[in-house]
Amino acid sequence: MVGDDGTDHLPPRRHLGGLGRLQRLLHLGRILGQRRVVPVGHRQFSHVGASGVVGSVRRRAATEMVRVPSGPAKVAAHRSVASGRQPDRPASGSEPAAHPGRSPNDPGAPVATPIRYHVDLTDRLHHLVRVSMTVPEELATGARLVLPVWTPGSYVVRDYARHVQTIAALDGRGDTVELHRDGTTAWRLPEEVTGEVTVTWELYANDLSVRTNHVDDHHALLIPAATFLSVDGAEDHPHEVHLPPAPADHQVFSLLPPGPNPDTYLAADRDHLIDSAFEVGALPHLDVEVAGVPHTFVWSGHGGAPDLPRIAADLSAISEACRALFGGELPTDRYTILCTGWENGGGGLEHRDGTVLQMPVHTFQDPDLTARFRSLLTHEYLHLWNVKRLVPADLVRPAYDRPTHSESLWVAEGWTAYYDELLPTRAGLWQPRRLLDTLQATWGRTLDTPGVHRQSLRQASHEAWIKHYARDHNAPNVMTDYYGHGSLVAFELDLRLRAQDPDGDGLDTVFRLLWDRHGLDPAGFTEDDVLAAVATVGGDDLAALTERRVARPGLPELEEVVAAVGLRWDGDAASGAPHLGVHLRESDTEVVLASVLRDRPAWQGGLSGEDRLLAIDGRTVGRGRLTAILSAYDPGQEVAVTVARGPRLLTRTVTLGPPRPDRRLVRLHEPSPAAERAFARWCGGELRRIEP
């Protein structure tokens, strides 16, 4: 997440061996007819057709750098009301789908009964969703029904059960079955219940984000973690969702594959269901084939006029760059992008076969926002490999009713954040200057975060639940950001590897080696696995340095290593206005000290986060005026700072600090030929075009 998936649609499991997983995947493939799946634990992608015959394409070695041409993008842009039909099914002459209650290898042998859901969207005007779940007879007795408290990729407890307005259960005769509340997020069926049970609940869905439900007369965005109860102990059962569009002229877009019946979508198991999403509406969308894999982009913003052919071209370029990084094919047979648009805000959540994005509604009319969209799309697309198939071991089988901690988010998100600006540069979507500007801005923000010296990246990953996703005004003083800080550690590691071998591929080689060793691995990867890959490529000393960067608080060393690609840092830290050492939150009506940075001037002068800044030496401070006011002073001067703290009016004496560093990455005056080659291999650009 910037803010959530080779197996194909099935997350790896420790307890399920490769053969058992393959058999289950083959069964699902036959249910769905023409269906391509990727079994866990096998070093090949297996394509399952209607005949059930398995063909394979062995994945290229991770040490190869293979750029797979995608060919011209084939775009079908639909701006009018969609038909509401599902993707085409196999022709009538193809083999009929296997019965969902029979094994593909022995049609007479029973397998897990599907858990079925029906979703009613007929009261969208009031933001209401009604969901029914059929609990099979063999699972009903004493069943514990659980709604997750979080969704994968967004590490914060959200207590989705608070949106459940009513819930009731009926047995097969239509008689009421009493439900017993079990904690805040679960219900239990009675021990004496017999037969099949239908549980129905009503959800309030009026929270537009990439990890929550939002339903109105324009669209319906459904996040399964916030929508579907599951049965404890039945995680491996198939889950089938019946979601007819409402109104009928709307179309359903799903990250799940179509099921055997009209308006149904089939998840192989509980994890697969939760790691998906649905969007319903008469929405602008496009279908484009990239590297032989169908991709769908859906825009649910009110207006915004997305340039669908341009998005298709960008998606093709991003996909090619990502595939080149990991050395070959896409690890999925379909990819769906559900993009919401609102007044402000933004972010993304990765899923196994797609992503949910949010951008301001005017994104595609603003060049800077369009560039941010490309970076966000690259980030989430990279998660097809990193996180969703190259899985941190602690996240292989998450617990959805409580936090699941990982100490590897600096790789899962930090490395992904590094590449989400680097790969579009390689793809030619923008010039290297933008990449350098982004890196130097990230460096500046990290320098301006005292918490980087108090929390390690390993700790930041583990404590994401209580710090990264629960920030307050003191957060910069006690925590570091595993996205930005993690990307800088990746940057340093990349350049140190390129200094060793200017004609090599740097961190790309480590990433591909990690993918080759642990992608599709049911056990996932650990920090030790990452360090072992670094040692293989760059030596034990570099692995030890990487371990220190992760285990200890502190900054990477970027001053000298940038010379490996012909760059240097330029800028005079003594220029500019003196500073208070604060982060501001400004509006037309007030200026608030969003954070007061530890040991900086405002901190030493006794100011506090959430103080409302009123005046400097009697001069009122309005939106955008602070820098201009401070520019009249010299560092070391004392000023009287007037703030409002609740009902109190306070004036504190603050000694101004020196200007903040404002440094840029520029070209060395006389870069070596090796550095010029390294720069080109690093970002795909020409070093001579960077100003000295």
pTM passes above 0.95? no
- If the chain, 692 residues long, is cut into consecutive pieces of 10 residues, what is the mean pLDDT of each piece? 40 31 41 33 29 27 29 34 33 32 42 93 98 97 97 95 98 95 97 96 97 97 98 96 96 96 97 98 96 97 91 98 94 97 89 97 95 98 98 96 96 98 98 97 95 98 94 96 98 99 98 96 96 98 98 97 97 78 96 98 98 97 95 96 97 95 93 98 97 94
Return the pLDDT at 574: 58
For residues 387 and 377, give the distance between their C-alpha atoms in angstroms, rounded to a whole number: 15
Kindly list the distances between the CA atom of residue 323 and the CA atoms of 316, 328, 580, in Å, as whole numbers in the listed order: 11, 5, 46
For residues 49 and 55, give the distance between their C-alpha atoms in angstroms, rounded to a whole number: 9
Return the pLDDT at 83: 29
Return the pLDDT at 572: 64
Select from 1.10.390.10, 3.90.1170.40, 2.60.120.10, 3.40.228.10 the CATH code of 405-568.
Answer: 1.10.390.10
Of 634, 580, 586, 629, residue with least CA distance to 608: 580
Return the pLDDT at 50: 28
For residues 27 and 362, give the distance between their C-alpha atoms in angstroms, rounded to a whole number: 45
Q: Which two tokens stand for residue 486?
A: 């993690």
Return the pLDDT at 345: 78
Of 224, 270, 326, residue with least CA distance to 9: 270
For residues 308 and 277, give the distance between their C-alpha atoms in angstroms, rounded to a whole number: 21
| Omega of the bond leading into 247 within 30 degrees of 0 (cis) | yes
For residues 388 and 413, give the distance between their C-alpha atoms in angstroms, rounded to a whole number: 12
Q: H/E element holding 517?
A: helix 507-518
**What beta strand segments (E) does 38-161 contain?**
44-48, 54-58, 74-78, 115-120, 128-135, 144-146
The domain 115-281 having CATH identifier 2.60.40.3650: the answer here is yes
Please, which residues have CB within 8 angstroms of residue 217's CB and are 6 or more apart in sequence?
A: 124, 125
For residues 187 and 401, give the distance between their C-alpha atoms in angstroms, rounded to a whole number: 12
Return the pLDDT at 303: 85
For residues 653 and 257, give the distance between their C-alpha atoms in angstroms, rounded to a whole number: 64
Please, which residues have CB within 8 angstroms of residue 632's CB and are 6 or more apart in sequence?
A: none
CB 360 within 8 A of CB 346: yes
- Same CATH topology for 405-568 and 582-655: the answer is no
Residue with tokens 């093709």: 316
CB 185 within 8 A of CB 147: yes
**Class of residue 173 by CB neighbours under 10 A (exposed 0-12, middle 13-18, buried 19+):** exposed
Return the pLDDT at 110: 58
The residues spanned by each domain of the chain are 115-281, 405-568, 582-655
Displacement of CA 436 from its chain's centroid (Å):
23
CATH code, residues 582-655? 2.30.42.10
Return the pLDDT at 111: 67
For residues 81 and 469, give the distance between their C-alpha atoms in angstroms, rounded to a whole number: 38
